Amino acid sequence: MSTITITNLRKIYGPIAAVDDFTLEIPGASVFGLLGPNGAGKTTTFKCLLGLARPTSGAILYDGQPLVPGTLERIAYVPERSVLYDWMTVAEHIEMNRRAYTRFSPARALELLTTFRIDPRRRVRVLSKGMKTAVMIAIAFARNADILILDEPTSGLDPVNQRHVLSLMINEAAKGNSVIFSSHQIGQVERAAEQIAVMDSGRLVLQGLVDDLKGDRKIVEGVFPDVQFALDGISNDPHVARVDRTERIVRLLVTADADAIAARLSAAGAMGVRTVDLNLEDIFLYAVSPATATTDIVIKETSS
Protein backbone atom coordinates (compact mmCIF):
# COMPACT_ATOMS: atom_id res chain seq x y z
CA MET A 1 0.00 0.00 0.00
CA SER A 2 1.21 3.50 -0.84
CA THR A 3 -0.22 6.53 0.93
CA ILE A 4 0.24 9.94 -0.67
CA THR A 5 0.22 12.94 1.65
CA ILE A 6 -0.09 16.43 0.15
CA THR A 7 0.38 19.32 2.58
CA ASN A 8 -0.25 23.01 1.82
CA LEU A 9 0.68 22.56 -1.83
CA ARG A 10 0.95 25.74 -3.89
CA LYS A 11 1.94 26.14 -7.52
CA ILE A 12 2.11 29.67 -8.89
CA TYR A 13 2.35 30.57 -12.57
CA GLY A 14 2.93 34.31 -12.78
CA PRO A 15 -0.07 36.00 -11.16
CA ILE A 16 -2.13 32.78 -11.11
CA ALA A 17 -2.25 30.24 -8.29
CA ALA A 18 -2.97 27.03 -10.21
CA VAL A 19 -2.92 25.11 -6.92
CA ASP A 20 -3.47 27.03 -3.70
CA ASP A 21 -2.92 25.69 -0.16
CA PHE A 22 -4.04 22.20 -1.20
CA THR A 23 -3.90 19.53 1.51
CA LEU A 24 -5.03 15.96 0.94
CA GLU A 25 -4.23 12.41 2.00
CA ILE A 26 -4.81 9.66 -0.55
CA PRO A 27 -4.93 6.19 1.04
CA GLY A 28 -3.31 3.13 -0.41
CA ALA A 29 -5.21 0.21 -1.93
CA SER A 30 -8.02 2.41 -3.18
CA VAL A 31 -9.49 4.17 -6.19
CA PHE A 32 -9.50 7.92 -5.56
CA GLY A 33 -11.35 10.36 -7.81
CA LEU A 34 -10.19 13.95 -8.24
CA LEU A 35 -12.98 16.16 -9.57
CA GLY A 36 -13.18 19.78 -10.58
CA PRO A 37 -14.22 22.08 -13.40
CA ASN A 38 -11.79 22.99 -16.18
CA GLY A 39 -8.89 24.98 -14.78
CA ALA A 40 -9.46 23.77 -11.22
CA GLY A 41 -5.85 22.62 -10.84
CA LYS A 42 -6.19 18.85 -11.25
CA THR A 43 -3.56 18.40 -13.96
CA THR A 44 -1.15 20.75 -12.20
CA THR A 45 -1.57 18.72 -9.01
CA PHE A 46 -0.79 15.54 -10.93
CA LYS A 47 2.32 17.14 -12.43
CA CYS A 48 3.51 18.14 -8.96
CA LEU A 49 2.93 14.58 -7.74
CA LEU A 50 5.12 13.30 -10.57
CA GLY A 51 7.86 15.88 -10.26
CA LEU A 52 6.97 17.30 -13.68
CA ALA A 53 6.22 20.65 -12.03
CA ARG A 54 8.10 22.02 -9.04
CA PRO A 55 5.76 23.18 -6.26
CA THR A 56 6.10 26.81 -5.25
CA SER A 57 5.65 25.65 -1.66
CA GLY A 58 4.25 22.74 0.31
CA ALA A 59 5.17 19.08 0.60
CA ILE A 60 4.33 15.81 -1.14
CA LEU A 61 5.21 12.55 0.60
CA TYR A 62 4.93 8.95 -0.55
CA ASP A 63 4.64 6.68 2.48
CA GLY A 64 6.19 9.48 4.49
CA GLN A 65 9.11 10.02 2.12
CA PRO A 66 9.67 12.77 -0.48
CA LEU A 67 9.68 12.04 -4.19
CA VAL A 68 13.07 10.74 -5.34
CA PRO A 69 14.11 9.23 -8.69
CA GLY A 70 13.57 5.72 -7.35
CA THR A 71 9.98 6.56 -6.44
CA LEU A 72 9.11 7.09 -10.10
CA GLU A 73 9.69 3.38 -10.78
CA ARG A 74 6.64 2.77 -8.59
CA ILE A 75 4.40 5.32 -10.35
CA ALA A 76 2.67 5.01 -13.72
CA TYR A 77 1.08 8.03 -15.36
CA VAL A 78 -1.45 8.49 -18.15
CA PRO A 79 -1.68 12.15 -19.21
CA GLU A 80 -4.77 13.69 -20.74
CA ARG A 81 -2.98 14.28 -24.06
CA SER A 82 -1.02 11.66 -25.96
CA VAL A 83 2.72 11.54 -25.36
CA LEU A 84 3.23 8.69 -27.83
CA TYR A 85 5.59 9.12 -30.77
CA ASP A 86 3.66 9.25 -34.03
CA TRP A 87 6.40 7.62 -36.12
CA MET A 88 6.73 4.59 -33.85
CA THR A 89 4.59 1.48 -33.78
CA VAL A 90 2.71 0.44 -30.67
CA ALA A 91 5.03 -2.56 -30.35
CA GLU A 92 8.06 -0.25 -30.39
CA HIS A 93 6.55 1.72 -27.50
CA ILE A 94 6.16 -1.53 -25.58
CA GLU A 95 9.81 -2.39 -26.20
CA MET A 96 10.89 1.10 -25.13
CA ASN A 97 9.05 0.72 -21.84
CA ARG A 98 10.46 -2.77 -21.31
CA ARG A 99 13.93 -1.29 -21.44
CA ALA A 100 13.06 1.67 -19.24
CA TYR A 101 11.18 -0.02 -16.37
CA THR A 102 12.27 -3.16 -14.57
CA ARG A 103 8.73 -4.13 -13.57
CA PHE A 104 7.25 -3.69 -17.04
CA SER A 105 5.46 -6.74 -18.46
CA PRO A 106 5.26 -6.83 -22.28
CA ALA A 107 2.91 -9.80 -22.06
CA ARG A 108 0.50 -7.82 -19.90
CA ALA A 109 0.64 -4.87 -22.30
CA LEU A 110 -0.15 -7.12 -25.28
CA GLU A 111 -2.99 -8.73 -23.34
CA LEU A 112 -4.54 -5.33 -22.66
CA LEU A 113 -4.08 -4.24 -26.27
CA THR A 114 -6.02 -7.32 -27.31
CA THR A 115 -8.79 -6.30 -24.91
CA PHE A 116 -8.83 -2.84 -26.51
CA ARG A 117 -8.66 -4.41 -30.00
CA ILE A 118 -5.50 -2.60 -31.02
CA ASP A 119 -2.94 -4.21 -33.33
CA PRO A 120 0.53 -3.52 -31.85
CA ARG A 121 2.01 -3.44 -35.37
CA ARG A 122 0.16 -0.21 -36.18
CA ARG A 123 1.93 3.12 -36.13
CA VAL A 124 0.68 5.68 -33.66
CA ARG A 125 0.00 8.26 -36.38
CA VAL A 126 -2.91 6.18 -37.74
CA LEU A 127 -4.60 5.71 -34.36
CA SER A 128 -7.62 7.69 -33.19
CA LYS A 129 -7.51 9.78 -30.02
CA GLY A 130 -9.29 7.05 -28.08
CA MET A 131 -6.95 4.35 -29.38
CA LYS A 132 -3.91 6.40 -28.33
CA THR A 133 -5.42 6.72 -24.87
CA ALA A 134 -5.98 2.97 -24.77
CA VAL A 135 -2.33 2.34 -25.72
CA MET A 136 -1.13 4.61 -22.90
CA ILE A 137 -3.44 2.83 -20.47
CA ALA A 138 -2.18 -0.60 -21.57
CA ILE A 139 1.41 0.53 -21.08
CA ALA A 140 0.68 2.11 -17.68
CA PHE A 141 -1.09 -0.94 -16.30
CA ALA A 142 1.70 -3.18 -17.61
CA ARG A 143 4.17 -1.24 -15.47
CA ASN A 144 3.08 -3.18 -12.36
CA ALA A 145 3.29 0.11 -10.49
CA ASP A 146 2.20 0.68 -6.91
CA ILE A 147 0.54 3.97 -7.85
CA LEU A 148 -1.32 4.86 -11.03
CA ILE A 149 -2.11 8.50 -11.77
CA LEU A 150 -4.61 8.81 -14.61
CA ASP A 151 -5.69 12.15 -16.08
CA GLU A 152 -9.02 11.73 -17.89
CA PRO A 153 -8.27 8.06 -18.67
CA THR A 154 -11.56 7.35 -20.47
CA SER A 155 -11.48 10.40 -22.73
CA GLY A 156 -12.20 9.40 -26.32
CA LEU A 157 -12.91 5.76 -25.48
CA ASP A 158 -16.10 4.01 -26.54
CA PRO A 159 -18.45 2.81 -23.76
CA VAL A 160 -17.13 -0.76 -23.86
CA ASN A 161 -13.52 0.30 -23.40
CA GLN A 162 -14.52 2.86 -20.77
CA ARG A 163 -15.96 -0.02 -18.77
CA HIS A 164 -12.73 -2.00 -19.28
CA VAL A 165 -10.71 0.89 -17.84
CA LEU A 166 -12.96 1.22 -14.79
CA SER A 167 -12.61 -2.52 -14.15
CA LEU A 168 -8.83 -2.26 -14.45
CA MET A 169 -8.76 0.50 -11.84
CA ILE A 170 -10.94 -1.41 -9.40
CA ASN A 171 -8.84 -4.55 -9.86
CA GLU A 172 -5.63 -2.62 -9.18
CA ALA A 173 -7.03 -1.36 -5.88
CA ALA A 174 -8.06 -4.92 -4.98
CA LYS A 175 -4.42 -5.95 -5.48
CA GLY A 176 -3.32 -3.32 -2.96
CA ASN A 177 -2.29 -0.59 -5.38
CA SER A 178 -3.42 3.04 -5.45
CA VAL A 179 -5.28 4.59 -8.37
CA ILE A 180 -5.83 8.35 -8.57
CA PHE A 181 -7.80 9.58 -11.54
CA SER A 182 -9.63 12.63 -12.80
CA SER A 183 -12.72 12.62 -14.98
CA HIS A 184 -15.50 14.91 -16.13
CA GLN A 185 -17.77 11.87 -16.41
CA ILE A 186 -19.05 11.89 -12.87
CA GLY A 187 -21.04 8.68 -13.27
CA GLN A 188 -17.78 6.85 -13.90
CA VAL A 189 -16.21 8.35 -10.80
CA GLU A 190 -19.23 7.28 -8.77
CA ARG A 191 -18.93 3.75 -10.17
CA ALA A 192 -15.22 3.30 -9.52
CA ALA A 193 -14.05 5.60 -6.72
CA GLU A 194 -14.35 4.89 -3.03
CA GLN A 195 -13.25 8.39 -2.10
CA ILE A 196 -13.22 11.71 -3.91
CA ALA A 197 -11.82 15.19 -3.60
CA VAL A 198 -13.25 18.22 -5.38
CA MET A 199 -11.03 21.11 -6.46
CA ASP A 200 -12.13 24.55 -7.55
CA SER A 201 -9.84 27.48 -8.41
CA GLY A 202 -6.85 25.53 -7.13
CA ARG A 203 -8.35 24.83 -3.72
CA LEU A 204 -9.82 21.77 -2.06
CA VAL A 205 -13.52 22.37 -1.50
CA LEU A 206 -14.75 18.89 -0.58
CA GLN A 207 -13.37 15.44 0.20
CA GLY A 208 -14.49 12.17 1.71
CA LEU A 209 -15.95 8.74 1.12
CA VAL A 210 -18.62 8.86 -1.56
CA ASP A 211 -21.19 7.12 0.66
CA ASP A 212 -20.44 9.44 3.58
CA LEU A 213 -20.82 12.53 1.40
CA LYS A 214 -24.23 11.35 0.29
CA GLY A 215 -25.31 10.46 3.81
CA ASP A 216 -29.06 10.75 4.35
CA ARG A 217 -29.37 13.74 2.07
CA LYS A 218 -31.99 13.72 -0.65
CA ILE A 219 -33.38 16.01 -3.30
CA VAL A 220 -37.07 16.95 -3.14
CA GLU A 221 -38.32 18.65 -6.27
CA GLY A 222 -41.61 19.85 -7.68
CA VAL A 223 -43.18 22.13 -10.28
CA PHE A 224 -45.55 24.96 -9.46
CA PRO A 225 -48.33 25.98 -11.87
CA ASP A 226 -47.23 29.62 -11.84
CA VAL A 227 -43.89 31.41 -11.68
CA GLN A 228 -45.14 33.35 -8.66
CA PHE A 229 -45.27 30.86 -5.83
CA ALA A 230 -44.60 30.79 -2.10
CA LEU A 231 -42.91 27.98 -0.20
CA ASP A 232 -44.97 28.65 2.93
CA GLY A 233 -41.98 28.57 5.25
CA ILE A 234 -40.53 25.35 3.84
CA SER A 235 -37.21 27.06 3.14
CA ASN A 236 -36.91 27.77 6.88
CA ASP A 237 -37.22 24.11 7.84
CA PRO A 238 -34.05 23.08 9.73
CA HIS A 239 -33.72 20.02 7.48
CA VAL A 240 -33.72 22.06 4.27
CA ALA A 241 -30.07 22.84 3.53
CA ARG A 242 -30.54 24.53 0.18
CA VAL A 243 -33.30 25.88 -2.04
CA ASP A 244 -32.91 26.25 -5.81
CA ARG A 245 -35.69 28.01 -7.69
CA THR A 246 -35.83 28.40 -11.46
CA GLU A 247 -39.06 29.85 -12.83
CA ARG A 248 -41.70 27.27 -11.77
CA ILE A 249 -39.32 24.55 -10.58
CA VAL A 250 -38.04 24.17 -7.04
CA ARG A 251 -35.34 21.77 -5.82
CA LEU A 252 -34.70 21.30 -2.13
CA LEU A 253 -31.59 19.69 -0.68
CA VAL A 254 -32.80 18.05 2.53
CA THR A 255 -30.83 16.36 5.29
CA ALA A 256 -33.72 14.44 6.89
CA ASP A 257 -37.53 14.05 6.86
CA ALA A 258 -37.65 14.05 3.06
CA ASP A 259 -41.14 12.53 2.91
CA ALA A 260 -42.59 15.11 5.29
CA ILE A 261 -40.99 17.96 3.36
CA ALA A 262 -42.29 16.51 0.08
CA ALA A 263 -45.79 16.48 1.59
CA ARG A 264 -45.43 20.12 2.61
CA LEU A 265 -44.29 21.01 -0.91
CA SER A 266 -47.38 19.32 -2.37
CA ALA A 267 -49.60 21.15 0.12
CA ALA A 268 -48.03 24.43 -1.02
CA GLY A 269 -49.30 23.72 -4.54
CA ALA A 270 -46.38 21.95 -6.22
CA MET A 271 -47.17 19.28 -8.80
CA GLY A 272 -45.20 16.15 -9.65
CA VAL A 273 -43.36 16.23 -6.35
CA ARG A 274 -40.73 13.53 -6.08
CA THR A 275 -37.89 12.56 -3.79
CA VAL A 276 -34.62 11.31 -5.26
CA ASP A 277 -31.38 10.13 -3.72
CA LEU A 278 -28.45 12.50 -3.86
CA ASN A 279 -25.92 11.41 -6.47
CA LEU A 280 -22.31 12.35 -6.99
CA GLU A 281 -23.19 14.87 -9.68
CA ASP A 282 -25.38 16.75 -7.20
CA ILE A 283 -22.56 16.70 -4.65
CA PHE A 284 -20.09 18.00 -7.22
CA LEU A 285 -22.35 20.80 -8.44
CA TYR A 286 -23.18 21.96 -4.93
CA ALA A 287 -19.44 21.97 -4.09
CA VAL A 288 -18.15 23.99 -7.04
CA SER A 289 -21.08 26.30 -7.65
CA PRO A 290 -22.99 28.59 -5.30
CA ALA A 291 -26.05 27.78 -7.36
CA THR A 292 -27.23 25.25 -9.90
CA ALA A 293 -30.22 27.41 -10.76
CA THR A 294 -30.25 30.95 -12.07
CA THR A 295 -32.56 32.78 -9.69
CA ASP A 296 -33.67 32.94 -6.06
CA ILE A 297 -30.98 30.74 -4.55
CA VAL A 298 -30.79 30.13 -0.83
CA ILE A 299 -27.92 28.17 0.72
CA LYS A 300 -28.23 27.43 4.41
CA GLU A 301 -25.76 26.14 6.98
CA THR A 302 -27.04 23.10 8.84
CA SER A 303 -25.82 21.21 11.84
CA SER A 304 -26.24 17.81 10.21
**pLDDT of 41 over the 50 cut:** yes
- Total Cβ atoms within 10 A of residue 168: 20
Half-sphere exposure of 72 toward its Cβ, with a 13 Å CA cutoff? 9
Q: Please indicate, yes or no, whether residues 206 and 221 belong to a single structural domain of this protein.
A: no
Q: What distances in angstroms separate CA 217 from CA 86, 186, 277, one per listed residue?
A: 49, 18, 7
Question: Is there a single domain that holds both residue 149 and residue 165?
Answer: yes
Q: What percent of the chain has pLDDT over 70?
A: 94
In this predicted model, what pLDDT tens digit does every residue of 161-201 receive, in sequence order?
999 999 999 999 999 999 999 999 999 999 999 999 999 99
Is residue 50 a contact partner of residue 59, using CB atoms and an 8 Å limit? no
> Per-residue confidence at 141, pLDDT binned at 50, 70, 90?
very high
- For residue 16, the model assigns a pLDDT of 95
Q: Which run of H or of E encompasses 193? A: none
Q: Do 261 and 233 belong together in one domain?
A: yes
Do 26 and 172 lie in one domain? The reply is: yes
- Decide if pLDDT at 297 tops 90: no
CB 178 within 8 A of CB 4: yes
Q: Does the pLDDT at position 42 exceed 80?
A: yes
Residue 103: pLDDT over 80: yes
Q: How confident is the model at residue 290 (pLDDT cuts 50, 70, 90)?
A: low
| Same domain membership, residue 221 and residue 142 | no
Tell me whether residue 50 is in a domain.
Answer: yes
Cα separation, 178 vs 201, in Å, equals: 25
In a domain, 260, yes or no: yes
Does residue 225 lie within any of the structural domains? yes
Q: Which of 211, 236, 251 is the last residue of a domain?
A: 211
Range of the domain at 79: 4-211
How many domains does the chain divide into?
Answer: 2
Distance, CA of 280 to CA of 197 (rounded, Å): 11
Residue 70 region by backbone torsions, left for phi larger than 0, else alpha for psi between -120 and 50, else beta: alpha
**Same structural domain for residues 207 and 276?**
no
Identify the three-state secondary structure at position 146. Answer: coil
Residue type, 56: T
Q: H or E segment at 173?
A: helix 159-174
pTM above 0.85, yes or no: yes
Q: Compute CA distances 38 → 43, 75, 187, 276, whole Å.
A: 10, 25, 17, 28
Could you tell me the CATH number of the domain that includes residue 115?
3.40.50.300
User: Which one, of 172, 188, 95, 106, lies nearest residue 142 by Cα?
Assistant: 106
Q: Work out the average pLDDT over 226-235.
A: 79
Half-sphere exposure of residue 108: CA atoms within 13 angstroms, side-chain side: 16
State residue 247's pLDDT score.
84
Q: Are residues 120 and 180 in the same domain?
A: yes
Residues 42 and 190 placed together within one structural domain of the fold: yes
Q: Which of residues 182, 211, 240 is at a domain's end?
A: 211
Q: DSSP assignment of 199-233, as one string?
A: EETTEEEEEEEHHHHHTT-EEEEEE-SSSS---TT
Question: Residue 214 pLDDT > 90, yes or no?
Answer: no
Give the DSSP per-residue string, 263-279.
Answer: HHHHHTT-EEEEEEE--
Rounded mean pLDDT of the chain? 91
58 and 197 together in one domain: yes
Q: What phi and psi values does residue 10 have, to the nearest 5 degrees?
A: -135, 140
Does residue 247 sit in the same domain as residue 287?
Answer: yes
Q: 69 with 174, same domain?
A: yes
Task: Verify that 35 and 148 share a domain, yes or no.
Answer: yes
